[in-house]
Chains A and B, each alone.
Chain A
Amino acid sequence: MSFNNLDTLYRQVIMDHYKNPRNKGVLEDDSLTVNMNNPTCGDRIQLTFKLEDGKVADAKFEGEGCSISMSSASMMTQAIKGKTVEDALKMSTIFSDMMLGKDYDESLDLGDIEALQGVSQFPARIKCATLAWKAMEKGMKEE
C-alpha cells in the first residue's frame, strides 16, 4: 500500500466533514440522547435527535475521535434528517453492508456517505466509521 491508496480512505469530502462538521452540537428540549464509546480506541459520540410524526426532525452530534469517526457522524446526521425512522435504519444496514464490502441496497440516495466506501479496505478503521451509526440505531430502537 502506498500513499496513493491512502487517498481511497481520506477522500476530500471526508476531510471536509472532519474540518467543518455539519450538525455539531447538542439538541435541547425533548430530544433523545445516546452516548456511545469505542472502548478500544477512546472515540466517543453523543448523539441527540428529535422525532416528529415518525420522521427525524433534527439531529446533532458531539464527540471526540479521528477523522473517520467524526466525518461519519457528520454525514450520518445530515443523511437521516427528514428521513423516516424506517429509512434511517435501512440506511444504517446499507452502511454496514458497505463497510463489510458487501453489495448494498442502492434504492436510497447516500450522498456524501458514499465517500466512506474506501474504509472497507482498512479493516482496523471500520469501527471508527460505524460508531455514529451504531449510536443512531441504539437510539431508534430504544424509542
Chain B
Amino acid sequence: MNAREIRQLFPILDQEVNGHPLVYLDSGATSQKPIQVIEAVENYYRKNNSNVHRGVHTLGTRATDGYEGAREKVRKFINAKSTEEIIFTRGTTTSLNTVAASYARANLHEGDEIVISYMEHHSNVIPWQQVAKQTGATLKYLPLQEDGTISLEDVRATVTNNTKIVSVTLVSNVLGVINPIKEIAQIAHAKGAVMVVDGAQGTPHMKVDVQNLDCDFLGFSGHKMCGPTGIGALYGKKQLLENMEPVEFGGEMIDFVGLYESTWKELPWKFEGGTPIIAGAIGLGAAIDFLEEIGLEEIEAHEHKLAAYALERLSEVEGMTIFGPKTAANRAGIVTFNIDDVHPHDVATVLDAEGIAIRAGHHCAQPLMKWLKQSATARASFYLYNTEEDIDKLAAGLVKTKEYFSDVF
C-alpha cells in the first residue's frame, strides 16, 4: 500500500491551510473522501436521482438498484449472513439508539443489568442510561486496566446472570485500544446477554466479520470510512431483528395501513421509515469498494505502523503524556496526549497555524476523561492517506508549541 499515491485520490488534501500544506490528523472525527465517493454521489444526483421501492419508471429502478446494491456491499463488507440483517441508519448513534429504543426497552426489566465500559463514546453511554431509567435496569461499568485496556477477568466478574446487554466499542476513539470483542461476546452469551458493538472506529480501519465476532448487533458510520456523512448501518442477527418493533413509523416501512392498525414490511425495511438516505448509501457502497480494493488488512497494517511511529516520535517531546497503551500492540491509529502546562485547545490552535488539524476536547467520552483525570486531551488520528512525514510534522509542531508557550510566559 502506497499512502502517497492514495493521498492523490483525496482532492481535499491538496490544499494549504494557514500558509502550510494541510496535514489532516482528525480522521477519528471524520475521514476525508476519495474522488470515487464524491463522483458516485454526484453521478447519482446527476443521472439517477429518484425515490426507491416505488417508481415504475426507469430512474426509480436505477435508484432502487443503487440503494439495494449498496446494502449487499455492506453485507459482504462485514460478512453478515443476509441483507435482511443490514439496516441503513444515519450512523452509529442512530444504530445504537435503535437497539436501545427497540430491543432493550421491550426486553429489559427491573433487576436486569446493562454492562458497558469506561471507554465508551457518549453514543454508547446515554442510550443505555435512558434505557436504565425507563426500565429500572441497572447500568454497570467495566473498569479499565492501568493502560486503558479491558481485562477478560473483569468482564467475567462484571457480567452476571442478570446481565441482558453488554455493549462495548471495538476500538476506543480516545485510547486507540482494540477490544477483544469475540471473547467478550462469548462471556456475554454464556450468561444469556446480547452483545452490542460500537463499530464506529473499527470498520474503517480493519476487517470486521460479524459472524466471527459472533456479536448480536453492530453499528457503524459511513463518514469515518471514506463515505458521506448521514449514512451508516445497523447489523443485527435476523432472529433478534424479526422480534423487534420499528422505532420510526411512516412511509416506506409499512405493509398494510388500516384506519387503526397497520403492519410492517419484512426485514430490513421495517426499520427504514421515510425516504431513505439514497445518495448516502450509494456513496457508502463506493467507499466500501474503494477500501476493499486497497484491502482492509493493508490499511490496518499501515495504521499500525503509523501508530508505532507516532508513539515513538511523540514520546520524544518534552513534557508529553500519552494516554492508553504505551506500545502499538492492539492499538489502532489513534494517539491521545497532553503536553505539560499547555491546554489541548491551545495546542490545537498553535498546530492549526501550522496547517495541522488535530482534535482537542473530551472526544464525546466524558466518563473516560473522568477515568483519565483530564478535563480535555489532544488527539491525532490517522488513516490510509497519512504518512510518516505527517507525524514528523506533528512532532515538530508540538516542539514549537511547547517553545511558543514557554516564550509567551
Mark A residues whose CB is within 8 Å of B.
1-3, 5-7, 9-10, 12, 15, 19, 40-44, 64-69, 122, 124-125, 128
How many A-B pairs have beta carbons closer than 8 Å: the answer is 65
Q: Which residue from chain B places its CB closest to the CB of A1 in the assembled complex?
A: B18
On chain A, the residues within 8 Å of B345 by CB distance are 41, 43, 65-69, 125, 128
Known A65-B375, A68-B345, A124-B349; judge A3-B409 contact (CB<8 A): no
By secondary structure, the B interface counts as helix
In the complex, A6 Cα to B18 Cα: how many Å?
Answer: 11
Q: Which residue from chain A places its CB closest to the CB of B355 in the assembled complex?
A: A1
On chain A, the residues within 8 Å of B353 by CB distance are 1-3, 5-6
Q: Which residue from chain A places its CB closest to the CB of B363 in the assembled complex?
A: A42
Are B350's CB and A65's CB within 8 A? no
In the complex, A69 Cα to B360 Cα: how many Å?
Answer: 14
The one of A7, A9, A19, A69 that contacts B349, using a Cβ cutoff of 8 Å: A9
Mark B residues whose CB is within 8 Å of A.
18-19, 343-346, 349-350, 352-353, 360-362, 366, 369, 375-376, 400, 404-405, 408-409
The one of A5, A9, A40 that contacts B361, using a Cβ cutoff of 8 Å: A40
Are B400's CB and A3's CB within 8 A? yes
On chain A, the residues within 8 Å of B344 by CB distance are 66
Are B375's CB and A64's CB within 8 A? yes
Are B375's CB and A15's CB within 8 A? no
In the complex, A42 Cα to B373 Cα: how many Å?
Answer: 13
| Given contact pairs A1-B353, A43-B375, a sample of 20 additional A-B residue pairs in the complex whose CB atoms are under 8 Å apart | A1-B19, A2-B18, A3-B350, A3-B353, A3-B400, A9-B349, A10-B405, A19-B409, A40-B361, A42-B361, A42-B376, A65-B375, A65-B376, A66-B343, A66-B346, A69-B345, A122-B349, A125-B345, A125-B349, A128-B345
Known A6-B353, A124-B349; judge A41-B361 contact (CB<8 A): yes
On chain A, the residues within 8 Å of B376 by CB distance are 41-43, 64-66
Say how far B373's CB is from chain A's closest CB, in angstroms: 11
Are B375's CB and A12's CB within 8 A? no
Say how far A131's CB is from chain B's closest CB, in angstroms: 12
The one of A3, A5, A42, A68 that contacts B362, using a Cβ cutoff of 8 Å: A42
Closest 5 CB pairs of A and B: A1-B18, A66-B345, A42-B362, A66-B343, A64-B375
